[in-house]
Amino acid sequence: VGPVEILYAALDWYVAILFGYLYSETGMLIMNIHGANKTYDREVQRFEEELFTFQPSRDLRRWYPVLNSRMLGEYLHFCYFMYYLIIVSIAAVLYLTRPREHYDRCVTAIALGFFTCFAFYLVCPVQGPYWSFDRPEASEVAYFFVDVVRFVLGGSSKGTAMPSGH
């Protein structure tokens, strides 16, 4: 593998690397456009309460003890974390094993989805329930992956909850 191949690989993957940077800066851009504390969480929560007659993000866990299971919490946090790995893994497998056109189509589709979400975040920022409601202690929710997800969310941008890029 020579310097030319390394340069081509870097050019092939720069968009994927750019996503992480763009996402981390979206919160700052939202703050510059809308002000430090302007989000539409109350409006979205009010809509959810009208639709469901309760606040699902806050009330379901309290009403249904089965949802307090640490095993279920571990599974759900594992699934949330896997989203990040799946996106990168699919692109990497296509890049390494399929014709270049397959990788290009995959990255283009992912980019279109992400950029569409980024544009919506700028127009209608929502922090989401993770930032809006009290969170239980990590040891009450799951075992290992709750800490991994909280680490990932530590680098997350506030104001980018809806529509979810997931």
Q: Which H, E and C letters describe 10-47, residue by residue? A: HHHHHHHHHHHHHHHHHHHHHHHHHCCCCCCHHHHHHH
Per-residue pLDDT band at 96 (split at 50, 70, 90): very high
The answer on pLDDT for 84 being more than 90 is no
Residue ranges in the chain assigned as alpha helix (H): 3-34, 41-52, 56-63, 70-97, 100-123, 129-132, 138-141, 145-154
pLDDT score, position 15: 81
The DSSP secondary-structure symbol of 156 reads P
| pLDDT confidence of residue 6 | 92
CA atoms within 13 A on the CB side of 83: 13
Q: pLDDT band at 51, cuts 50/70/90?
A: very high
pTM of the model: 0.76
pLDDT band for position 27 (50/70/90)?
A: confident
Whole-number percent of the chain with pLDDT over 90: 27
